[in-house]
Amino acid sequence: MEVVVKAENLKKYFPIKLGFFRTLFSKEELYVRAVDDVSFDIRKGEIFGLAGESGSGKTTTGRLLLRLIEPTGGKVHFRDKEITSIKDDEMKILRREMQIIFQDPYESLNPRMTVGDITSEPLRLLEKEMTPSDMDERVLQILEDVELTPPKEFVLRYPHELSGGQRQRVAVARAFVVNPTFIVADEPVSMLDVSIRAEILRLMMTLVDKYQASFLYITHDLALSRHMCDRLAIMYLGKIMERGDTEQVIFEPLHPYTKALIDAVPVPDPTAKRAETVIKGEIPSPVNPPSGCRFHTRCPQYIGDICRTKEPELIDVGNNHYVSCHLYGKEK
C-alpha cells in the first residue's frame, strides 16, 4: 500500500532554560529528549496508533509530523516530498492536506464562533478559490457526515450549547472538512464519558474509510487502540520499543515493556486474574534518560550489562513486527 507519511530518524530535543547564574558559570546544556530517533510510516487509509505513558513523546511526534514544531534532527516525508526543509509558503499549501484533532473539545473550539464558522474556517483559510455557497454546502455535508443532524440547525449553535460528544464531533468535522490526506488525533476521546467514546471512535473510523485518509491515533489507552488501529507503535521515553500489526503487538507482545503495559490494563471482568508482572517505579526523566536500553531500570527481564551499556536497535523479527530489545535479534 502507498505510504503517505514517513518519519525518518525523527528527533526533538527541547532545551531547558537554566537560571541566570548557571548559564554564566556552566557550559552544560540540558535537553529534554522528547523524541529520540523515531522512524515509522503510515499508509493510505490506515489508522496507525502511537501508544505510551505520559512523557513518552507521542504528542511531540504527532506535532513533528505536521511540522507544528521543528525537529532537531531527522526527516518527515509527506507523500513523495520531504517537508522538514521546505519553505513556509510551500508548507502552507500542504497544510490543507494535514489536520489535527485535539484532546479537549472544551478548549479547542472558540467559544465566540458558531459551529458553522468553526467548520468553515479551514476552508476560508486554505481553499481561497472556493465560493461562499460551495463552502456552505460543504459545511452542511460534513456536519451530516459527523451526524450533527439537522446540520442547518447546528450551524448556528455555539460550542456552549453542545455536549462534550457533540463538541468533539465538531472538532472532527473541522479536521475532515478540507478533505485531508493525513490527520493526527491526539487522545481524541480521553475527555469524554465512556458511554459516548465508542461512537466518536466509530465515527472517525467511518470517515477515515470514506475519505481514504491516513490517521495517526495518539493514545494511552491500549484497550481502545486495539479496537481502533491497524498498526500500533509503543513508545517509551522518546523511542519506539515495539511496532507491528495491532493484534500482534497486543496478543504476542515481545518487548518486556509492552508486556508490562498490557498486563497493567484493567480488565472489566471481576473474575479475571491479574497477571503478576506489575513493574516497579515510574517513567524516568527524559532529561537524563537511562543509558543503553531506556527501559533497563524497570525491566523485569534484564539480562545483564548489555542492557545498561548498549542501546538496542529496532529490529525486524518477521511479519512486519519490530522490537527494540536485546532479548531478540541474537538468533538471527
Partner 1 sequence: MKAAEGVSFQLEKGEAMGLAGESGCGKTTVALSLLKILPQNGRVVNGKIVIAGTDIVPLSESEMRKNIRWKVISMVFQGAMNAMNPLYRVGDQIVEAIKMHEPEVHRKEAKERTAKLLEMVGIDPSRTDNYPHEFSGGMKQRALIAMSLACNPVVVLADEPGTALDVIVQAQVLRLMKELKDRLNLSMIMIAHDLSMIAEVCQKIAIMYAGYLVEYGDIVKIFKKPLHPYTTDLIESFPSIKAAKQEMVSIPGFPPDLLSPPPGCRFHPRCKYAMDICRKEVPILRENSPNHFAACHLVKD
Q: How far is the CB of 224 from partner 1 (least distance, A)?
A: 6
Q: What are phi and psi of 288, to 5 degrees?
A: -125, 75
Q: How far is the CB of 290 from partner 1 (least distance, A)?
A: 16
**Measured from the CB atom, is 2 or 282 closer to partner 1?**
282
**Measured from the CB atom, is 55 or 116 closer to partner 1?**
55
**Measured from the CB atom, is 19 or 268 closer to partner 1?**
268
Q: Is residue 218 within a helix (H) or strand (E), and if so which, with residue range?
A: strand 214-219
Q: How far is the CB of 279 from partner 1 (least distance, A)?
A: 6
Neighbours of 279 (CB within 10 A): 17
**Measured from the CB atom, is 67 or 296 closer to partner 1?**
296
What is the arrangement of strands in the sheet containing 31-43, beginning at the earlier edge strand? Answer: 31-43, 3-15, 73-78, 81-82
Q: How far is the CB of 17 from partner 1 (least distance, A)?
A: 17
48 by DSSP, 3-state: which? strand
**Measured from the CB atom, is 139 or 237 closer to partner 1?**
237
14 by DSSP, 3-state: which? strand
Alpha-carbon distance of 73 to 83, in angstroms, equals: 13
Q: How buried is residue 110: exposed, middle or buried, by Cβ count under 10 Å (0-12/13-18/19+)?
A: exposed
Name the packing angle between helices 164-176 and 115-126 (round to 10°). Answer: 20
Alpha-carbon distance of 120 to 140, in angstroms, equals: 10
**Measured from the CB atom, is 280 or 330 closer to partner 1?**
280
Q: How far is the CB of 270 from partner 1 (least distance, A)?
A: 4
Q: What are the residues binding partner 1 (CB under 8 A)?
A: 53-54, 163, 165, 193-199, 201-202, 220, 222-224, 226-227, 250, 260-272, 274, 278-280, 282-283
Q: How far is the CB of 200 from partner 1 (least distance, A)?
A: 8
